[in-house]
Amino acid sequence: MNKKLQTALTFDDVLLKPNLSSVLPKEVDLSINLSTKLKLNIPFLSAAMDTVTESKLAISLARRGGLGIIHKNFSIEQQAFEVDKVKRSESGMILDPITIEPEFKIRKALEIMANYKVSGLPVIKNKKLVGILTNRDIRFENNFDLEVKDRMTSSNLVTVPESTTLEQAKSVLQKHRIEKLLVTDKNGLLKGLITVKDILKKEDHPDAAVDIHGRLLVGAAVGIEKNTLDRVAALVEKQVDCIVVDTAHGHSKSVLKTVEQIKKVHSNIDLIVGNVATGQGTKALIDCGADIVKVGIGAGSSCTTRIVAGVGVPQLSAVIDCFEQANKLGKKIISDGGMRYSGDIAKSLAAGASSVMLGSIFAGLEETPGEVVLRDGRSYKSYRGMGSVAAMKEGSHDRYFQDLKSSKKLVPEGIEGLVPYKGKLNDTIDQLVGGIKSCFGYCGSKNISEIKDKAQFVQITSSGIIESHPHDINITKDSPNYRKPDFNVDL
């Protein structure tokens, strides 16, 4: 037994030394290829937590260049539907548009439009295009039991071939004063849909993280339950871009077995697997088929694993250890947990992470699930760890290798609480990106690859932490990128 104690550090224990630099923050490129299919323009993933990521946040984050991971506390069908909503939210050309048949009731068509937030649906019969039903066709309709064929536009349909470019499509849309352009082959079979709304979205979000078809990227979490392969199959059917095998202890035989099973059936899907905190755990996951490894045990703000179980590794040391092993094997890692400020994210990237997964930083945003509540005159939103009793009851118990026979026997490794309401995602992203780019400028690094090579850490004392935070002043106005820490340090 090796009882030799090792020193391990986290973000507050270190600072990055400034270097000679000719790099301005505005010149920094934060894009990263996590894999051949996952290209992000900002290195942020949202945590697969039921108070953080559903389709609304995933769409907003992907539009800024990041990647949302839909949580697994859904039924298989609900989670797949959330993924589908992201994939259909915008596209250069929608390859598999939602369609209806002429015999559908108007009522059914309206339900589909509402579910997918679309204003028109192509109408097909025997796979051939026969019309289109838009809001204009049924704007003042009162008889919802009419069939679609009674109100759809079926004559003088404007169609274009599959080879049509977006610029050509814009010209056709303008010429005919229409908002939806149907794409067909020579046999009249519907092959896609181009909309004015999608073209405008692409122009409004030039840095969006998209797949080869121009659809927003999205991932989804799975566990190690008996129905995991069924869940993965349903998600893959909806064109999910990556699967996150999400557990509290990734260096576990049951997790390794699950990874092998998924890869055997779905060899082309990118697998992000975690969580681990050691080089050995990283190697084991990669050897079993993980494409990207997620690092972090017990670092999250709502996690109590280190206190309840006494297990974990301070996050910065964990990232360094896991990066060394992943780098040897040509793979990338994601730092998950413990980051409260943009400077912590920058330190994660400098230590070896290619991207970071954020939970508490995104919690409280307008786009997260849940209602805004008022307490003592301030606005808050609910936030809970996936190891909390409530979250485990909803479906995350397998993440912590626990059986849900009795809720009284669940041993929580997370807490529930409130976080301040933070407004829209865009403002938070702007502050985080600005802080990271500032760090790279100080360190003379123009991209994520360079910061790993040029970064020089210095370890600081508790006095250094006090000196680093604002001191000898009463803060009278909140800053958009800084909140006074709540740990017991006399700042």
Give the residue numbers annotated as catalytic, written as ranges. Answer: 303, 399
In degrees rounded to 5, what are phi and psi of residue 286? Answer: -65, -40
> How many CB atoms sit inside 10 A of residue 389's CB?
18
Identity of residue 369: P
What is the distance between the alpha carbons of residues 420 and 376, in angstroms, rounded to a whole number? Answer: 12
Q: In degrees to the nearest 10, what's the CA dihedral of 102, 103, 109, 111?
A: -160
Identity of residue 241: D
Give strand pairing partners of 123: 100, 131
- Cβ-contact 416, 390 below 8 angstroms: yes
* Neighbouring residues of 150: CB distance < 8 A, sequence distance ≥ 6: none
> Parallel, antiparallel, or unpaired: how do β-strands 219-222 and 190-195 relate?
unpaired
Length of the chain equals 491
Give strand pairing partners of 355: 334
* Three-state DSSP class for residue 482: strand
Specify the DSSP class assigned to residue 438.
H
* Neighbouring residues of 49: CB distance < 8 A, sequence distance ≥ 6: 71, 359, 363, 384, 385, 386, 391
> How many CB atoms sit inside 10 A of residue 462's CB?
11
> How many CB atoms sit inside 10 A of residue 126's CB?
7
